[in-house]
């Protein structure tokens, strides 16, 4: 574009010189005198078109800079930090087509607005001593990080969450009592000269950390993040729920994260490894949770909050009796069971109970441990999806392209990913470190889902 401007200016200059040599009379004088304002007018149109194009690019840069800044700053009320992040990102994009001036940030009514001012150098308008054209753009974002929000943390408290959390812990459990799970029910054990009432008593004596304990650590990480995101405790509420044969509300949504921490640590509330539910019925529990959560709002007020459900689970619809009852044995081997088909991944449609009323579902999958030496595992979770008759048993429809010969255990992540509101809100974790980090990662991912509003 610059070369075209230079070419046009050269032609107009040449015409002026020709007129300067013209001695033909008044017409030449009149034309000569009128060319200056004509040149300014034509030049102004070129310069303003150029400034308009620059403004469009500047608007795009500000939109991107503001979104990037909000995603990186935990406390979106920290205007100084936001301004610095926006400015850093914005200045990195600026080219020679304009000069950037001030950037202002405003966080009124939980809406983050940014304005940027700059100048575009002129070409033709320099003739009229106009060196630059001012440009100004504005952008605004809104999302969970700036809105009223209720967070419903739901913890699977089935016996499978009593798995030793580390490889060394699993090894200690297996070498001592022949089982990696710290179940509260089952046979007593005598190891050496010491008697243990059950598996859990052994794990407690050996100070073995269980997945249920790690789940508590993960929730505490989220509570810390809520403290950072809402320092005055006026915008984000948190509720705690245990999921098993039914759903239990441990704590209704509250602004007090300290109360949440107290309930989380007190074994009488059923969220520690000291207790567990005998079964996991997602169809019943998630239907009950739907009633507890209610419809999500737009986040503009405490009476209309956005609603996020954080589900931590191994994803298996199960009951101990479905494995052990009605079993037919032959030559010391279990060859069939009346209820083996029932032990299967949850049906993602049950998560629709919540998603269909404008709530967001985020899922952390605590990977189900394959125990191929155990007949109960091989007969149920280790068996195929085809043998589960998933459609007729629980109404589930498998993802297209996935073979029914896949094991139920290997299909769990497919089911849980479909349970989440989006693939980005599903995380699979196997180690204690991954589980602890996973829930806070999901929360961060949700908070960063901002949208432009201006």
pLDDT of residue 325: 92
Residues 156 and 72 in one domain: no
Q: Cβ distance 98 to 136 under 8 Å?
A: no
Residues 122 and 262 in one domain: no
Pairwise CA distance, residues 346 & 219, whole Å:
22
Residues 17 and 52 in one domain: yes
Residue 203 lies in a domain: no
Q: Supply the range of the domain harboring residue 424.
A: 149-163+210-452
Residue 174 lies in a domain: no
Residue 168 lies in a domain: no
Query: Of 142, 171, 198, which residue is a domain's last?
Result: 142
- CA angle 71/77/82 to nearest 5° reads 50
pLDDT of residue 260: 97
Pairwise CA distance, residues 106 & 376, whole Å:
60
Place of tokens 């005998």: 278
Residues 91 and 118 in one domain: yes
Residues 90 and 214 in one domain: no
Count how many Cα atoms sit within 13 Å of the Cα of residue 65 in the half-sphere of its side chain. Answer: 30
Residue 31 lies in a domain: yes
Pairwise CA distance, residues 359 & 153, whole Å:
13
Give, in order, the Cα–Cα distances in Å from 168 to each of 67, 163, 171, 181, 431: 43, 12, 5, 13, 12
Residues 126 and 225 in one domain: no
Query: Of 112, 142, 172, which residue is a domain's last?
Result: 142
Per-residue pLDDT of the chain (454 residues; tens, 9 = 90+): 445 545 555 555 565 556 555 555 555 555 555 555 666 666 667 777 877 888 888 888 888 777 777 666 555 556 777 777 777 777 777 666 666 677 777 766 556 777 878 888 887 777 777 788 888 888 877 667 678 899 999 999 988 889 888 888 989 998 999 888 888 777 789 998 899 998 999 999 999 999 999 999 999 999 999 998 888 899 999 999 999 999 999 999 999 999 999 999 999 999 999 888 889 999 999 999 999 999 999 888 899 999 999 999 999 999 989 999 999 999 989 999 999 999 999 999 999 999 999 999 999 999 988 888 889 999 999 999 999 999 999 999 999 999 999 999 999 999 999 999 999 999 999 888 999 999 999 988 888 776 666 6
Residue 173 lies in a domain: no
Residues 298 and 378 in one domain: yes
Place of tokens 């980090």: 437
Rounded-to-10 torsion of CA 52, 54, 59, 64: 160
Pairwise CA distance, residues 311 & 275, whole Å:
19
Residue 205 lies in a domain: no
pLDDT of residue 23: 54
Of 353, 327, 343, 415, the residue nearest 377 (C-alpha): 343
Tell me how many domains the chain contains.
Answer: 2
Residue 288 lies in a domain: yes
Residues 290 and 354 in one domain: yes
CATH number at residue 318: 3.40.50.410
Residues 422 and 368 in one domain: yes
Query: Of 87, 109, 142, which residue is a domain's last?
Result: 142
- Cross-strand bridge partners of residue 360: 308
pLDDT of residue 338: 94
Residues 100 and 158 in one domain: no
Q: At what angle do helices 257-265 and 211-229 cross, to 10 degrees?
A: 170
Residues 154 and 103 in one domain: no
Q: How far apart are the first and last CA of the chain?
A: 30
In what helix (H) or strand (E) does residue 313 lie, and over which residues does it extend?
A: strand 306-313
- CA angle 433/438/439 to nearest 5° reads 120
* C-alpha 420: how far from chain center: 10
Interstrand relation of 194-196 and 247-254 (parallel, antiparallel or unpaired): unpaired
Residues 279 and 408 in one domain: yes
Pairwise CA distance, residues 181 & 350, whole Å:
28
Residue 186 lies in a domain: no
pLDDT of residue 327: 94
């Amino acid at each position: 574009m610059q070369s075209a401007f230079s070419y046009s200016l050269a032609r107009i200059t040449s015409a002026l010189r020709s007129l300067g040599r013209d001695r033909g009379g008044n017409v030449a004088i009149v034309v000569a005198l009128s060319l200056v304002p004509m040149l300014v007018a034509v030049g102004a149109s070129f310069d303003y078109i150029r400034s308009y194009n620059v403004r469009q690019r500047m608007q795009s840069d500000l939109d991107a800079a503001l979104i990037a800044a909000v995603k990186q700053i935990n406390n979106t009320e920290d205007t100084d930090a936001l301004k610095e992040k926006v400015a850093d990102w914005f200045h990195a994009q600026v080219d020679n087509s304009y000069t950037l001036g001030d950037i202002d940030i405003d966080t009124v009514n939980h809406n983050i607005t940014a304005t940027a001012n700059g100048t575009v150098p002129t070409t033709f308008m320099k003739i009229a001593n106009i060196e630059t054209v001012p440009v100004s753009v504005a952008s605004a974002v809104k999302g969970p990080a700036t809105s009223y929000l209720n967070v419903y943390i739901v913890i699977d408290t089935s016996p499978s969450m009593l798995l030793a959390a580390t490889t060394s812990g699993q090894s200690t459990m297996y070498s001592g009592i022949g089982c990696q799970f710290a179940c509260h029910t089952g046979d007593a054990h005598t190891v050496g000269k010491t008697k243990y009432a059950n598996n859990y008593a052994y794990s407690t004596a050996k100070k073995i950390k269980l997945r249920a304990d790690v789940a508590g650590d993960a929730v505490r990480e989220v509570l810390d993040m809520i403290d950072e995101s809402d320092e005055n405790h006026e915008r984000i509420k948190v509720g705690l729920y245990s999921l098993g044969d039914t759903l239990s509300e441990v704590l209704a949504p509250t602004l007090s994260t300290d109360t949440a921490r107290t309930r989380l640590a007190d074994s009488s509330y059923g969220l520690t490894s000291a207790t567990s539910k005998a079964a996991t019925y997602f169809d019943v529990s998630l239907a009950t949770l739907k009633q507890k959560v209610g419809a999500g709002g737009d986040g503009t007020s405490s009476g209309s909050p956005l609603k996020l459900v954080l589900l931590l689970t191994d994803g298996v619809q199960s009951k101990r009796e479905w494995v052990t009852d009605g079993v037919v044995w032959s030559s010391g081997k279990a060859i069939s069971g009346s209820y083996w088909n029932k032990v299967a991944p949850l049906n993602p449609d049950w998560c629709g109970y919540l998603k269909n009323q404008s709530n967001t579902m985020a899922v952390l999958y605590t990977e189900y441990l394959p125990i191929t030496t155990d007949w109960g595992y091989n007969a149920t979770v280790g068996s195929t999806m085809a043998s589960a008759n998933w459609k007729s048993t629980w109404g589930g429809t498998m993802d297209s392209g996935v073979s029914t010969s896949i094991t139920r255990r290997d299909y769990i992540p497919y089911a849980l990913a479909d349970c989440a509101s989006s693939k980005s809100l599903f995380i699979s974790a196997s180690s204690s470190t991954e589980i602890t980090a996973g829930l806070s990662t999901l929360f961060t991912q949700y908070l960063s889902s901002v949208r432009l509003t201006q």
